[in-house]
A and B are shown apart, each in its own frame.
Chain A
Amino acid sequence: MSPQQKLPITEARALAHAIAAAVGESILGKSAQIRLAVACLIARGHLLIEDVPGVGKTTLAHALADACGLAWRRVQFTSDLLPADLVGVSVWESANAQFAFRPGPVFSEVLLADEVNRASPKTQSALLEAMEERRVSVDGVTHPLPDPFFVIATQNPAHHAGTFELPESQLDRFLMRLALGYPPADAELALLAGRDRRNRSVVARVTDRSTLTALQASCADVFVGEPVARYVLRLVSATRSHPAIALGLSPRAGLALLAAARAYALTEGRDFVAPEDVQAVWHPVAAHRLHTPDGRHLPDALVAEFLQGTPVA
């Protein structure tokens, strides 16, 4: 990555709010989730949305991409989707008498991977590898992915038939996991009455690619003091000694928590991380990395218990 120019803190906050506001025009009554999704984007992390169909996952991805002026593509994951369908193939071009690489949908700035748990493990891991490495190797040639590269994956929460659960070890490639949930009553009424802009797909373009990368680069300047680092350490170690948890949070999870908290602090207009920022991103960052010994998600109440039981100072 080339040296980036960064945004001053007030501009960064204004921009983040503008993006969130633009997305909020499309999806009513979900401002908290939208802010987290924007923070996830700013933190250069990937987003997993776990929810039932029809609550606006695609709309969110679309709106985010449009507001940021990014190109986006959508792939419906199925059990017969092959890795090549995702990353692309080399084809013989008789005209030039050589192989030419035809990039797959992964070469987009925003990729919506719909129902990611329907694909075979092989395809899943191709995607997750691309997410982690931010590049793709085909036939010995490495092709860098665009920057920014933002994956929004969706999956159904229940253990549906014909799905392949994402392996626990790969779930943490996603910085956050969000649930959109059904809209609140007044928002749904607006939707039904046609006042929602969901289907008009006219999201105001708030920024462009280069400004967005500058915004992402500003995250690095958000200060994390020792008290906050200690607070994160307390939170992380609390999960390691809890009897209901198979495996506590890893150091990588602690770093992810701080990265997300930095981005969130930016959206709050702060150039430092406060414990409140860590708390705001705790659930979406930590919940999908924690499992009960029999492999199930932790109940939301238990995830929240760590926040309530850990002193901030």
Chain B
Amino acid sequence: MRKSEPVDRHGQLWILAAVLLTLLPLLPRLTLEVGLVAGLPLLWQGWRLHAATPARPPNRVVLLLIAAVAVATTVARYGTAFGRTPGLALLAMLLGLKMLEARTRRDAHITIQLCFFVQLGYFLIEQSALTAACALAACVLALTALLRVEQPDLLLKPALSGSARMVGIALPLAALLFVLFPRIDTPLWGMPTDGASATTGMSDRMRPGSIADLSLSGEIAFRVEFSGSPPPPAERYFRGPVMSQFDGLEWQARPAVRATSLPQGKRRIDYVITLEPHQNRWLFALEHATPREGQTLDAFNVLLAGATIRSRVRAPMTSYADAQIGLDASPAALAVNLALPAGSNPRTAAFGAKLQQEQTAPADRVAAALRFLREGDFVYTLSPPRLGQNAADDFLFETRQGFCEHFANAFTVLMRAAGVPARVVAGYQGGEINPIDGTLVVRQSDAHAWSEVWLSERGWVRVDPTAAAAPKRIDGGLTASLPASDPIPGLVRIDSQWLRTLRNRAEALSHTWNTWILGYTAQRQRDLFAGLGIDADWRNLTLGLVASGALWQAAVWIGMFRSRRRLTPAERAWQLLLRKLAQQGLVPAISEGPIAFAARAGTIHPEWQAALTDFAARYARLIYGPTASAEDAEALRIAITEWLARTF
């Protein structure tokens, strides 16, 4: 078959299906107008091929016009035609156009190669297990279309199984490459970004309402795998930014130096956190972490990653639940945690002064304040009334309705007013154990804020004022403590057991994928091979890669060779003839027997007719006839060889 030969209607339908399946996973990632422009050629092609005799393909001018619209749409929407998403959008729109103008086999090949390229493009946007599954399915279909273009007589089942077999042979090789290809710690090239992408997550500032906004998101913040049994919900405080600077309205984290002493204790907890990207360095460790390799602990005992977390990070961590921090805090540092802006929250300041007079021991002042919160009919809600300039005053004495940051804000202000050094800690609290794989899943809705007060002898002590007013929040999570009328994202409050199990399964699968596929970094590669007693040097890896790749290829070849029937002498003689005739453009169809083929070849080359008819009759007798003797086969082989020598 020649390259310029036209593709029949069935072949074109196959290509349409391949293009459709290739574009489908991409469309939700692109905008509506891009989807419309990309879908137009597909609809057109579908309409064309709907009839038994397809309508004429569209005029070249029309195609050029649509291409211009595609470029204009990209530039109008993204401001450029380059970069990751604009490039993919443009490619998606042009893929349909290429398919629409594909008439010959050469065009069909280009269209299908483009499909493969777009399938690769999925991974520029997202690298989830679902993406991989979509790409695999689209790849099999595109391969099937390619097979169908090459062999127009192929039926559906053999075509599909043929392409599935190709993928089946390729997958182990891909796995080998994945495991063995030498990895480097820093990527060779950076991913072009499309401007700042909005990521929900913790901020280093807190004002009333900021965490409540976060609570509306069911997105996963991080996952924790404990090597032992996980601590009870009431002890799951994952520390993020520590905010000690207060301007009367907003709490803010201060830059900190490295910690001078590391927390020590007896109740050691080992765990691995897999953090979703949040554009900051906090690792959200449990109380109180000691840094491992590549991690730093700042003076506020916040565990930080070596660099901003822009992609999913897997971090092994160690904490001591009973560690005490801040025992050696300097008076200057404590003074910062007593500061209040002059004139703000006067009623709280007065109440603090009263506490200070009544209770001499700071610990008693803390207890008295908590008692005030517990007995004051405070309501925990996601939609509290608006607060004025003196948020602590309004909350403590007027509205008495708030979310964790209201409690933390008011309590910390009150403690400072009462002369107890206090600060706000933001982070996550609680989480939910996924029963499928036993990991603790912590969502944005688990975001929380609490206070730490400094007591001599004990150092910085965590005090959660929310726990005093709404103890359910700490033990049962957000949904248990909120009134049913409050809005909560669908994924957080799931009443249906079935849906909950489904979500747990999907998240467990996604976590496995993240851990084993996406989290397979240079370090893990080294660890894996160190476990096998092999040094994961790039030379060893390359050697192993080449050797095992060659072994697999050999296994495939041997399998193919064994499944192929050994040729009889008669068949070998005939193959000799067929090869020579194929050079003259004479190839038997799959449905053409030797006699029919010889007759057809004889009408094209009458000078060979007699010889070919004779050979075909003798060959047919040898393979279909009752007695096939070795002498006859040998005689045929000699006759064919002699004839070939004479003729060619």
A140 within 8 A of B: no
Q: 10 interchain pairs (CB within 8 A)?
A: A228-B624, A272-B620, A272-B621, A274-B620, A276-B593, A276-B595, A279-B591, A308-B589, A309-B153, A311-B591
Minimum CB distance partner of B620 in chain A: A274
Q: Say yes or no: A312 contacts B623, CB within 8 Å.
A: no
Known: A223-B625, A270-B620. 17 other contacts (CB 8 A): A223-B624, A225-B623, A225-B625, A225-B626, A271-B626, A272-B621, A272-B626, A275-B593, A276-B620, A279-B593, A279-B596, A307-B591, A308-B589, A308-B591, A309-B591, A310-B590, A312-B590
Which parts of A53-94 form the interface with B (CB within 8 Å)?
none
Which residues of A sit under 8 angstroms from B620, Cβ to Cβ? 270, 272, 274, 276
B250 within 8 A of A: no
Minimum CB distance partner of B571 in chain A: A313
Q: Say yes or no: A227 contacts B591, CB within 8 Å.
A: no
CA distance A271 to B617 in the complex (A): 12
B592 within 8 A of A: yes
Q: Which of B591, B620, B626 has the most CB of A within 10 A?
A: B591
Which parts of A291-313 form the interface with B (CB within 8 Å)?
307-312
B155 within 8 A of A: yes
A249 within 8 A of B: no
Q: Please tell me which one of the listed residues A241, A273, A279, A311 contacts residue B624 in the complex, with CB atoms under 8 A apart.
A: A273
CA distance A307 to B626 in the complex (A): 24
Which residues of B sit under 8 angstroms from A279, Cβ to Cβ? 591, 593, 596
Minimum CB distance partner of A273 in chain B: B624
- Give the number of chain B interface residues (Cβ < 8 Å): 17
Which residues of A sit under 8 angstroms from B153, Cβ to Cβ? 308-309
Nearest first, the 6 closest Cβ-Cβ pairs linking A and B are A275-B593, A223-B626, A272-B625, A311-B590, A276-B593, A276-B595
Which residues of A sit under 8 angstroms from B621, Cβ to Cβ? 270, 272
CA distance A289 to B345 in the complex (A): 96
Which parts of A215-256 form the interface with B (CB within 8 Å)?
223, 225, 227-228, 241
Which residues of A sit under 8 angstroms from B595, Cβ to Cβ? 274, 276
Which residues of A sit under 8 angstroms from B593, Cβ to Cβ? 274-276, 279, 312
Per-residue contact bits, chain A 189-204, to B (CB 8 Å; 1 contact, 0 not):
0000000000000000
CA distance A223 to B100 in the complex (A): 53
Which residues of B sit under 8 angstroms from A276, Cβ to Cβ? 593, 595-596, 620
Assuming the A-B contacts A308-B589, A308-B591, A309-B153, are A225 and B596 also in contact, with contact meaning beta carbons closer than 8 angstroms in the complex?
A: no
Which residues of B sit under 8 angstroms from A307, Cβ to Cβ? 591
Which residues of A sit under 8 angstroms from B626, Cβ to Cβ? 223, 225, 271-272
Q: Chain B: residues with CB nearer than 8 A to chain A?
A: 153, 155, 157, 589-596, 620-621, 623-626
CA distance A223 to B590 in the complex (A): 23
Query: What is the minimal beta-carbon distance from A76 to any residue of chain B, in angstroms?
Result: 41
Q: Say yes or no: B625 contacts A275, CB within 8 Å.
A: no
Which residues of B sit under 8 angstroms from A312, Cβ to Cβ? 590-593
Query: What is the minimal beta-carbon distance from B599 to any residue of chain A, in angstroms?
Result: 9
Q: Say yes or no: B624 contacts A275, CB within 8 Å.
A: yes
Q: Which of A225, A279, A308, A312 has the most CB of B within 10 A?
A: A312
Query: What is the minimal beta-carbon distance from A23 to any residue of chain B, in angstroms?
Result: 24
Which residues of A sit under 8 angstroms from B155, Cβ to Cβ? 309
Which parts of A261-288 form the interface with B (CB within 8 Å)?
270-276, 279
Query: What is the minimal beta-carbon distance from A154 to any residue of chain B, in angstroms?
Result: 31
Query: What is the minimal beta-carbon distance from B291 to any residue of chain A, in angstroms?
Result: 65
Which residues of B sit under 8 angstroms from A223, Cβ to Cβ? 624-626
Query: What is the minimal beta-carbon distance from A232 to any residue of chain B, in angstroms?
Result: 12
Per-residue contact bits, chain A 124-156, to B (CB 8 Å; 1 contact, 0 not):
000000000000000000000000000000000
Minimum CB distance partner of A268 in chain B: B595
CA distance A4 to B191 in the complex (A): 87
Q: Which of B155, B620, B624 has the most CB of A within 10 A?
A: B624
CA distance A273 to B624 in the complex (A): 7
Which residues of B sit under 8 angstroms from A310, Cβ to Cβ? 590-591
Query: What is the minimal beta-carbon distance from A266 to any residue of chain B, in angstroms?
Result: 14
Query: What is the minimal beta-carbon distance from A40 to any residue of chain B, in angstroms?
Result: 21
Q: Say yes or no: B589 contacts A272, CB within 8 Å.
A: no
Which residues of B sit under 8 angstroms from A270, Cβ to Cβ? 620-621, 625
Which residues of A sit under 8 angstroms from B591, Cβ to Cβ? 279, 307-312
Query: What is the minimal beta-carbon distance from A100 to any residue of chain B, in angstroms?
Result: 50
Q: Say yes or no: B624 contacts A274, CB within 8 Å.
A: yes
CA distance A42 to B57 in the complex (A): 53
Query: What is the minimal beta-carbon distance from A9 to any residue of chain B, in angstroms?
Result: 12
CA distance A225 to B622 in the complex (A): 10
Minimum CB distance partner of B592 in chain A: A312
Query: What is the minimal beta-carbon distance from B245 to any residue of chain A, in angstroms?
Result: 74
Query: What is the minimal beta-carbon distance from A270 to any residue of chain B, in angstroms?
Result: 8
Q: Which of B589, B593, B626 has the most CB of A within 10 A?
A: B593
Which residues of B sit under 8 angstroms from A274, Cβ to Cβ? 593-595, 620, 624
Query: What is the minimal beta-carbon distance from B152 to any residue of chain A, in angstroms?
Result: 10
Q: Please tell me which one of the listed residues B590, B592, B594, B624 contacts residue A272 in the complex, with CB atoms under 8 A apart.
A: B624
Query: What is the minimal beta-carbon distance from B416 to any residue of chain A, in angstroms?
Result: 80
Query: What is the minimal beta-carbon distance from B24 to any residue of chain A, in angstroms?
Result: 25
Minimum CB distance partner of B154 in chain A: A309
Query: What is the minimal beta-carbon distance from A73 to any residue of chain B, in angstroms?
Result: 39
Q: Say yes or no: A227 contacts B625, CB within 8 Å.
A: no
Minimum CB distance partner of B628 in chain A: A225
Q: Say yes or no: B624 contacts A225, CB within 8 Å.
A: yes
Minimum CB distance partner of B625 in chain A: A272
Which residues of A sit under 8 angstroms from B596, Cβ to Cβ? 276, 279
Which residues of B sit under 8 angstroms from A311, Cβ to Cβ? 590-591
Which residues of B sit under 8 angstroms from A241, Cβ to Cβ? 157
Query: What is the minimal beta-carbon distance from A176 to any residue of chain B, in angstroms?
Result: 20
Minimum CB distance partner of B595 in chain A: A276
CA distance A309 to B156 in the complex (A): 11
Which residues of A sit under 8 angstroms from B624, Cβ to Cβ? 223, 225, 227-228, 272-275
Minimum CB distance partner of A275 in chain B: B593
Query: What is the minimal beta-carbon distance from A68 to any residue of chain B, in angstroms?
Result: 28
Which residues of B sit under 8 angstroms from A275, Cβ to Cβ? 593, 624
CA distance A164 to B626 in the complex (A): 45
Assuming the A-B contacts A276-B596, A309-B153, are A227 and B590 also in contact, with contact meaning beta carbons closer than 8 angstroms in the complex?
A: no
Query: What is the minimal beta-carbon distance from B147 to any residue of chain A, in angstroms?
Result: 14
Query: What is the minimal beta-carbon distance from B422 to any residue of chain A, in angstroms?
Result: 76
Which residues of A sit under 8 angstroms from B157, Cβ to Cβ? 241
Which residues of B sit under 8 angstroms from A271, Cβ to Cβ? 625-626
CA distance A182 to B626 in the complex (A): 40
CA distance A259 to B626 in the complex (A): 17
CA distance A311 to B589 in the complex (A): 8
CA distance A86 to B591 in the complex (A): 44
CA distance A274 to B620 in the complex (A): 7
CA distance A279 to B592 in the complex (A): 9
Minimum CB distance partner of A308 in chain B: B591
Query: What is the minimal beta-carbon distance from B401 to any residue of chain A, in angstroms?
Result: 66
CA distance A311 to B625 in the complex (A): 19
Query: What is the minimal beta-carbon distance from B368 to any residue of chain A, in angstroms?
Result: 82
Which residues of B sit under 8 angstroms from A227, Cβ to Cβ? 623-624
Minimum CB distance partner of A231 in chain B: B593
Which residues of B sit under 8 angstroms from A272, Cβ to Cβ? 620-621, 624-626
CA distance A309 to B157 in the complex (A): 12
CA distance A222 to B592 in the complex (A): 21
